[in-house]
Structure 1
Amino acid sequence: MAVDRKISRDDSTKQFLILLLIIFGIFLLLSTTLIRYFNKNNIIFYKTIFLVVAILVIVIGIMLLLTIFAITMLYFNKDIPHIMKVIMKYFMIISQPFVMELGKIIKFNKNSIRSAYTNLNNQIILSEKYEFNGEDILVLSPHCLQKDFCPHKITNDIYNCKRCGKCDVDKLIDLREKYGINFSLVTGGTLARKVIVELRPKAIVAIACERDLLSGLMDVSKIPILAIINERPQGPCINTQVDIRRVEKAILHFIKE
């Protein structure tokens, strides 16, 4: 099954680039101002402080510029060097609170910005090659995938599921049995982190809403994660669904052939 490695060309990526360009403009203005103060001030102590801060701002500005360039290249499905992916990944973590706050100020949809983060993360992961065994891969899903009328508690043991086929849990168990992966249904971020600590997976396929996926990407930065946004036909946190084909493609990207 072929894995689509192209970045999503939607408004979320464009909005994310706009936010980064605005932040770059702010950093450019700040660095220019600091350099001017550095040249005007004759007191060595203040000159040293201004110089250190200016260098720090310039370094962050360069990282930001490289990230903007990398995102633009990925947007047009061009390959980028590995070092640029590393810079981009860490800058995304550092910049996240500033980008979200700026997006709030200029009235960008929060979920669109979060979606851009997950798309960019997926693009980085999909551009790398992995050869893990099935037992090294963890599929994490929120418990709201289970139908709200289902009487069976499956967060502690997924095999309490009666496999009626009315929700996507049945299909995810099929994938677990087919590829020998780990599959866990969790009630929230705390339990998700507990499962990760216990199982120590080498790769994760995470299913959740935009907010929870972004939170997870920020918390678990050392493990490759492919993030899949769930479908919410009845609204958030109730009877959600997931595209099983996307989950299987994500598993196949990580698994050893």
Structure 2
Amino acid sequence: MIAIGEIAIIVFIGLFLFSLFVVALAFYSIKRGRFYFPRVLQAGLVVSEGFVKAICKFFSLDDKELTAFFIRLHNAMTKSAFAAVPSNKRAIFVPQCLRHSACPANLTPEGLVCRRCGRCEIGAHIDELEDMGYMVWIAPGSTLIKRMVAKYQPEAVIGVGCLVEVKEGLEMLDKAGLIGMGVLTLKDGCVETIMNWNDLFEVAREGLPKPD
């Protein structure tokens, strides 16, 4: 029993020191604007997430900034694989919170069906993305994403949402063995949130011919 306790303490200390290294490396990368040891960072942020959050809280560091960094890192690591997938094998899920508060869209088993009423920008951008070959859904929640992925079997997915939604979505896609890219909204919320659509199109055009 004593030996087991000693091993547990050693493992705990090892994880703590590794997490401390990951936090320091991540914030140094954020400060420098480049990724240092990206594979170590990606694995460390996933494996020791609890320790990392505790360390951020202890040192009064912004764990939201760290989460945003994780998403950028994930996108950078996945970029080449995503670019190799043809657009008709890619899917995009945009959150229903982007729509206007007076949105007349109907909720169906495949998400909200935009009626192109012009009250928000979703309809026009969906048309453009579908013209590029994408499957696009307006998602009321993660359950729809799982259902549509199972039904249509895309090989790559772009998820749009707030920090927590995108992070959890990327983790879900990783577990499912799918290529995932994340795009963040500019503010959190449940109604009339906003995003920079150029950020989405920049990711969506990866690997595709440049428009004339």
Q: Do the aligned partners of 1:67 and 1:87 also contact (CA within 8 Å) in 2?
A: no
In the other structure, the counterpart of 1:199 is 152
In the other structure, the counterpart of 1:93 is 46
Does residue 253 of the first structure (1) align with residue 206 of the second (2)?
yes
| Whole-angstrom distance in 1 between the partners of 2:96 and 2:127 | 17
| Whole-angstrom distance in 2 between the partners of 1:111 and 1:139 | 24
| Whole-angstrom distance in 1 between the partners of 2:195 and 2:110 | 20
- 1:171 partner letter: A
In the other structure, the counterpart of 2:73 is 120
Q: Which runs of 5+ in 1 are unaligned?
A: 1-44
- What TM-score results when the alignment is normalised by the length of structure 2? 0.75
Compute the RMSD of aligned alpha carbons: 3.5
Q: 1:247: how far off?
A: 0.9
| Whole-angstrom distance in 2 between the partners of 1:63 and 1:113 | 13
1:224 to 175, 179, 196: 179
- What TM-score results when the alignment is normalised by the length of structure 1? 0.64
Q: 1:220: how far off?
A: 2.3
Residues 133 and 144 of structure 1: CA distance in aligned 2, closer, same or farther (over 3 Å): same
Residues 111 and 52 of structure 1: CA distance in aligned 2, closer, same or farther (over 3 Å): closer
Runs of 4+ residues deviating >6 angstroms: none
| Whole-angstrom distance in 2 between the partners of 1:107 and 1:66 | 16
- 2:183 partner letter: I
Q: Do the aligned partners of 2:170 and 2:180 also contact (CA within 8 Å) in 1?
A: yes
Residues 74 and 130 of structure 1: CA distance in aligned 2, closer, same or farther (over 3 Å): farther
- 2:133 partner letter: G
In the other structure, the counterpart of 2:137 is 184
Q: Secondary structure at the match of 2:138?
A: strand
Does residue 212 of the first structure (1) align with residue 197 of the second (2)?
no
In the other structure, the counterpart of 2:83 is 130
Task: Give the structure with higher Rg (CA).
Answer: 1
- 1:227 partner letter: G
| Whole-angstrom distance in 2 between the partners of 1:103 and 1:49 | 27
Query: Greater share of strand residues, 1 or 2?
Result: 2
| Whole-angstrom distance in 2 between the partners of 1:241 and 1:175 | 18
Residues 218 and 200 of structure 1: CA distance in aligned 2, closer, same or farther (over 3 Å): same
Q: Secondary structure at the match of 1:225?
A: strand
Residues 118 and 190 of structure 1: CA distance in aligned 2, closer, same or farther (over 3 Å): same
Does residue 146 of the first structure (1) align with residue 99 of the second (2)?
yes
In the other structure, the counterpart of 2:64 is 111
Q: Which runs of 5+ in 2 are unaligned?
A: none
- 2:52 partner letter: V
- 1:180 partner letter: G
- 2:145 partner letter: A
